[in-house]
Structure formats: C-alpha cells, structure tokens
Amino acid sequence: MTLISILDAATTVTRSPFFNPMAFGVDDNSTICALSTPPGSGGIAVIRVSGPAAFRCTRSLCPFLPANPESHRVYFGTARELRGADAIDDVLVACFATGRSFTGEETAEINCHGSPVLTASLLKELVEAGCRPARPGEFTFRAFMNGRIDLVQAEGVLSLIESQSKSAARAALRQLKGRLSAELSKIEDGLVWILAQLEASIDFSTEGIEVMSSEAVCDRIQDVITSCDRLLDSYRQGRLFAEGLRIALVGRPNVGKSSLLNALVQEDRAIVTAIPGTTRDLVEGRIMVQGIPVTVVDTAGLRETGDEVERIGIERARQALEKADLVFHVIESSRVLLDEEKADIAALVALPGNDGADRHCILINKIDAADGDAVAARLRELAAVGVTKQTAKIFEVSARTRHGLEELEELLATKVRADVSEMSEVVMQTRHFEGLQKIHSCAARALALITKDESAEFIAFELQDAIRAIHELLGKEFNEQVIDRIFKEFCIGK
C-alpha cells in the first residue's frame, strides 16, 4: 500500500454508489412545506417552505413579495387564496436565499396567526402552488444532504427539540453548533497523521531512515485513546441531561412510600392511607435538581397477595426497581424487619459496583414516631444481614416532619452534579457512545500491535477502521439504515 492509498482509504468521503436519495424522500427538485410550530392554537404559527421554488410558490399566495426578495428580510402583507383571491390572513414572510438558510436551499418562513384553520388553508394553497408536504425531519435532512450540518449536528437538532432541562438544551446546542463534531474531527486528524507516519516509515525503512520514533507514534495513539475515554466518560452525564434521573421508592406496604413521594415533590401526588396496599399502580412525581429532571416513582407495597390488581401492581413495582437509577428501600423505624424484607435489601445492596451500594439506599421512615432504641434495633437487624452504614447509604427520615429529606436532596445533587466542566463536550446519544467505543478499541489494538513491533499494514488496518467509525458517526460514510433511523425520530416541520 502506498502513502496515497492508505490516506485515500482513510479520508475519502464514501457515499455508497447505491445510495438512492429517493428512498429518503428526496426528489431533489421538490419544494417542501410544513407547519414548523406545534399544531393547535397559539399567538403565531410558522410555516416553512424550502426548495428551488420556495419564493415563487410563496409569492403565489403572498403577491406582495417582490420578484427577487432580499435574503434575511421580512415582508408584510396579506396572504390570499390562489383561486378567488380571498384574504386568508395578514402575514410576515421571512426570506432566506440559497446557501444562506438552515437547509441551504431557498427558504421562506410564513408567520401567520396561530390558528389551525389558517395554517391548514395556507398549507393547502402552498401545495396548490406546487409545494409538497414535508416528511418528518426533512428540513434537517436537507440541511445534512446539502452539507450545512453533519449527522452529529442533525442529532443535536433532535436533542435540542426534545431537551427537558436547561443543561440538556445547553449540551444539545453545543452539539448542534458542531463542538462534538469538531472533537471527532480532531481525533480523525490524529489518526490520519499516525497513518501517514506509518506509511512513510514503510517507504523509507529500506533506506534506514526513521521518520518518526515509535514512541512518538504511540504517544499520538495514546492521545486518541485519552480523547475517546474523556468523551465516553461524559456519556453518564449525557444520559442524565437527556433523560434525567429516575428514583424508585420500594418496600413493604404501609412503610410510607407514597408519603415520601409527596414530601419529596412537595405535592399531593399519591393517595396516603393507613390501610396497607393503598398504592396499586406506579405514581410519578417530578422535581428539578440542579437543572436536571428527577422523576420519583412510588410503587405498590411488596407482599404476597391473592388480589389480581395488587399482584400486577407489585410486578410493576419490581420493573420500576430494575429501571431506576437510584432505589430507595423504605422500612419503618418502629416495626421489626420481616425476614423477606431483610433478604431483599441484603441481596440488592450487596451487588458489586454501581449496582450495589451506589444504586440502593435504605430509608428508615417515620423517625418522628420512634425512639432511639427502635432505630438502633433496625440498624442491628440490617447489620445482621451485612448492611451497615459502612457498606450502604442509610438515612433516617420522616415524611411527616421532613426530617432527613435535606440529606436525600443532597444525595441527589451529588448524583446529578456535572463532573464535566461547562466547556467540555458531552456525549448524549447511544449511537455516539457505541461509535466512540469502536474507535477506542481500534486505537487500543493499534497501540498493542505497535508495542509488539507488528507489521505496519496490520496497524494501518486498525486505524482505518477507527477512521471509518468516525466517518459513520459524522455521516461522511453513508449508512442508509442509520440515517433513516435518525431522521425517522424527527417531527414534521423540523
């Protein structure tokens, strides 16, 4: 392999020759239109028109638009029906010239009053004028196809629309602005540089010239691995930004789970009674902790039961326990722990690593109605099955007096606290995480091969694989299934 061929294989933008844009709904000359604001009534609504005939089609119903509208200018006038010229609404039309819009195409945005009747009329007239209704995500898809954004940025658009918190929105906006793409490109540059060194060392080796010491090459591969590690580490935070934290309150009937939910979210979400078995279904409440949404899930009390409804509720409780990022096992301070209660807690808390003490906490509730001896007795019962304040997080709380809740909130704050600085990129999508894992393992294998003094071709093979993974992430390498999956998640009008 020559230097050029190695670099070519690594850096050429590979669009599958079989790629058929039609399969994605791109009949390239069409002009598309859609409502870009949520359907329903509102102050204003925005209809987006994009494609080569965007201005002409819009002018058909907005005759006040000049023949050659200025880019980034807003025109005001009355939109009228094509046939009959009846007035539909007074509108503002913002015009964006080819190459200067989000999609990269000629674009008009019609701002009308936010009534479903008006938007339906305007869209009908636009179709009559020659537009076709846009498919979900098609504006963003066109931006991607026209090279305005890469695939990672397109996913940033989706994350931004879906973000549930300020932190998620901030991270998504950075992704949309290309910060994560830039990080990936930097990794790619590093890999391409290493490939070039490898090739040069093959070419010059017969002449006894060492182009670059293998230590220097190793250092550069190590840099790539470190960058991947940093991004992979940010994924936990990214998931938190995107989805928030889920906490499940579980335990025997009547221990005060519903009361704790209500106390934590400071709202009467769940029914509380002195009758064991009150809660049947999952009841959720939501709070924001340091800008991250935290969902607290109250569950049915765990016990043997012949009641069909309760049995299903308990099954759901077990599923909620599995899915939660954090589990609060609630026990009562003045009641002797049941054997099965102790066994359940001990089995979960003793799980190794993240799934053990990190994920499971014990709340000794109703502390207001208990004396110190009772609490000490509960702690002894827990210690007898290996659960102590050294091996697990144990909190003494009262849903009634709010005793200990501040400590719980502090625990949540530590869980969600950004361990990444404001300025670093955060990986939020599973696709990116998996891609980075692949790049990481290719680089690690390349490093191992260099250390073993293996042939440069083998090393180059691993590095090319890593570069291909970056291309797939950015959408430079066309993977129809991936692209199809991404854009399917979008709503119409985006």
Provide φ and ψ at 101, rounded to 5°: -120, 175
List CB contacts of 47: < 8 A, sequence separation 6 or more: 33, 34, 35, 36, 109, 110, 112, 119, 122, 123, 126
Kindly tell me which of 279 and 429 has the beta carbon lying closer to Mg ion. 279
Tokens of residue 304, six digits: 């043997």
Q: CB 334 → ligand GTP: shortest distance, Å? A: 9
Q: Which does 254 bind (CB under 5 to 8 A by kind): ligand GTP, Mg ion, none?
A: ligand GTP
Q: CB 299 → ligand GTP: shortest distance, Å? A: 8
Q: CB 270 → ligand GTP: shortest distance, Å? A: 7
Residues 270-299 that bind Mg ion (CB under 5 A): 278-279
Q: CB 169 → ligand GTP: shortest distance, Å? A: 35
Kindly tell me which of 305 and 388 has the beta carbon lying closer to ligand GTP. 305
**Computed from CA positions of residues 434, 440, 446, 451, in that sequence, does the dihedral angle turn out positive or negative?**
negative
List CB contacts of 122: < 8 A, sequence separation 6 or more: 47, 61, 79, 88, 89, 91, 110, 112
Tokens of residue 249, six digits: 């309150």
Kindly tell me which of 118 and 272 has the beta carbon lying closer to ligand GTP. 272
Kindly tell me which of 308 and 453 has the beta carbon lying closer to ligand GTP. 308
CB burial readout 17-42, b (16+ within 10 A) else e:
eeeeeeebbbeeebbbbbbbbeeeee
* Interaction of residue 153 with Mg ion, rule CB under 5 A: no
Q: CB 415 → ligand GTP: shortest distance, Å? A: 23
Kindly tell me which of 264 and 460 has the beta carbon lying closer to ligand GTP. 264
**In this structure, are residues 192 and 10 in contact, taking their beta carbons and an 8 Å threshold?**
yes
In this structure, are strands 87-96 and 73-80 parallel, antiparallel, or unpaired?
antiparallel
> Which residue in 258, 333, 398, 464 binds Mg ion (CB under 5 A)?
258
Kindly tell me which of 216 and 309 has the beta carbon lying closer to ligand GTP. 309
**In this structure, are residues 272 and 262 in contact, taking their beta carbons and an 8 Å threshold?**
yes
Q: Which does 413 bind (CB under 5 to 8 A by kind): Mg ion, ligand GTP, none?
A: none
Q: CB 350 → ligand GTP: shortest distance, Å? A: 24
Give the range of 21-29, 35-43, 255-263, 347-355 binding Mg ion by CB under 5 A. 255-263
Residues near ligand GTP, by CB under 6 A: 253-259, 272-274, 276-279, 300-301, 365-366, 368-369, 398-400
Q: CB 434 → ligand GTP: shortest distance, Å? A: 39
Euclidean distance between CA atoms 114 and 43, whole angstroms: 5
Kindly tell me which of 28 and 371 has the beta carbon lying closer to ligand GTP. 371
CB burial readout 96-135, b (16+ within 10 A) else e:
bbbeebbbbbbbbbbbbbbeeebbebbbebbeebebbebb
* Interaction of residue 254 with Mg ion, rule CB under 5 A: no
List contacts with Mg ion (CB under 5 A): 258, 278-279
